[in-house]
Amino acid sequence: MKPFRVEIPQEQLDDLQRRLGDTRWPGELPETGWSRGVPLGYLRELAEYWRTGFDWRAVEAELNRYPQFTTEIDGQTVHFLHVRSPEPDAQALVLTHGWPGSVTEFLDVIGPLTDPRAHGGDPREAVHLVIPSLPGYGFSGPLQQAGWDNVRIALTWARLMEQLGYERYYAQGGDFGAVVSLTLAGVAPQHVAGVHVNFLVTAPPADPAALAGLEGPDLARLGKMQYFLSDLSGYMKLQSTRPQTVAYALTDSPVGQLAWIIEKFKEWTDSDKAPEDAIGRDRLLANATLYWLTATAGSSAQLYYELAAQLPTAAVPPPSMPPLPVPLGVAVFPHEMIQPIRAFADQAFPNIVRWTEFDKGGHFAALEQPELLAADIRAFVGALRP
């Protein structure tokens, strides 16, 4: 393992500013808002702030406050933050992001999770945090081989935790991070003490009669899933079939990269008019800048290709995970793009020990509601600890 610091050469930042200033902008139909994609006026204003007001060096300094490392596992560079709690009897937790996220989305939960005493929490719930960048994402890029699916990533996380000396630990994640965390429990149940997720897909049973007992809120969740599959999932189809093709545009144009992912922060969050209703502008741009500076738009999309058979489609519901051999905690945020149905979840995951329904927040919980998410994770870990 090698210590790592984020130190982007100034030439790369100058190149980003130049490219932003030289953007060739498309036209736009009048009065379409967000219905056909990211509005031109909004993106132009955000891109200008990115060029003239955003401070990447401040993001670097914040990341470099925490110990970071790189190692090589299974032929792939893996970057991770390793933040030890000041509490001597803290337990370990591996925290995994998804797409289009990165390790930057966890900056506001590191303190509350590792040092709850300083944040008004119970010190018995403290954890040591291991926060890896998914292979092909951020400083774990570029990918060296094909085949990096959820099982291979989970096996890599198990080896990483072993190398760090953690015999027993918890796993947490949202989006792909939830899939990896659940898979980690399946491949290393003797080491994973429990899994907490803030994203869980519950497929309807094959028997239509199972839908008969659902009430209004659950039917609404089914409708929301169908809306996602029919209207919001175009990116998924493209990235799961032709990730290399989309990589050229996103790697060449920072505004293209920004538009591609900022749309998700609008559609998947607890926001009204713009993503900034849910997440601070500098946090949004920190994430987009990391994708740009590491040129990982294409390599991050490869995970969709690897998991294409497991992704939901308009014709086929998402498959259920196999029975989970460890306790499971589920945090449900109301503006999540796909929300789980408890009756279906109990059938697929009989080991659910904690289920929390929140009244605000969406898909990027660590960015939108860091205090709520951190408190729920701590409570889950605290209830299970010996």
The one catalytic residue among 166, 191, 304, 335: 304
Kindly report the number of other CB atoms within 10 A of residue 19's CB atom.
Answer: 16
The one catalytic residue among 108, 115, 149, 175: 175
66: buried, middle or exposed (CB in 10 Å: 19+, 13-18, 0-12)? Answer: middle
Question: If you count them, how many residues does the chain have?
Answer: 386
Q: Which of helix, strand or coil describes residue 328?
A: strand
Q: Tell me the CA distances in angstroms from 162 to 94, 136, 188, 210, one per residue in order.
A: 12, 22, 11, 42
Q: Which of helix, strand or coil describes residue 335?
A: strand
Active site residue 305: no
Those residues with Cβ within 8 angstroms of residue 367's Cβ, 6 or more apart along the chain or in another chain: 105, 108, 278, 279, 283
Active site residue 304: yes
**Residue 28 · residue 266 · CB < 8 Å:** no
The one catalytic residue among 79, 335, 363, 376: 363
Half-sphere exposure of 23 (CA within 13 A, CB side): 25
Structure tokens at 302: 């490869």
Q: Tell me the CA distances in angstroms from 259 to 1, 38, 266, 297, one per residue in order.
A: 35, 6, 11, 12
Q: Report the candidate in 128, 151, 156 with the shortest Cα–Cα distance to residue 140.
A: 156
The residue whose two tokens read 């796993």 is 171
Helix-strand-coil split of the chain, %, nearest 5: 50, 15, 40
Active site residue 175: yes
Q: Which of helix, strand or coil describes residue 34?
A: coil
Distance CA 142, CA 162 (A): 24
Positions marked active-site:
175, 304, 363
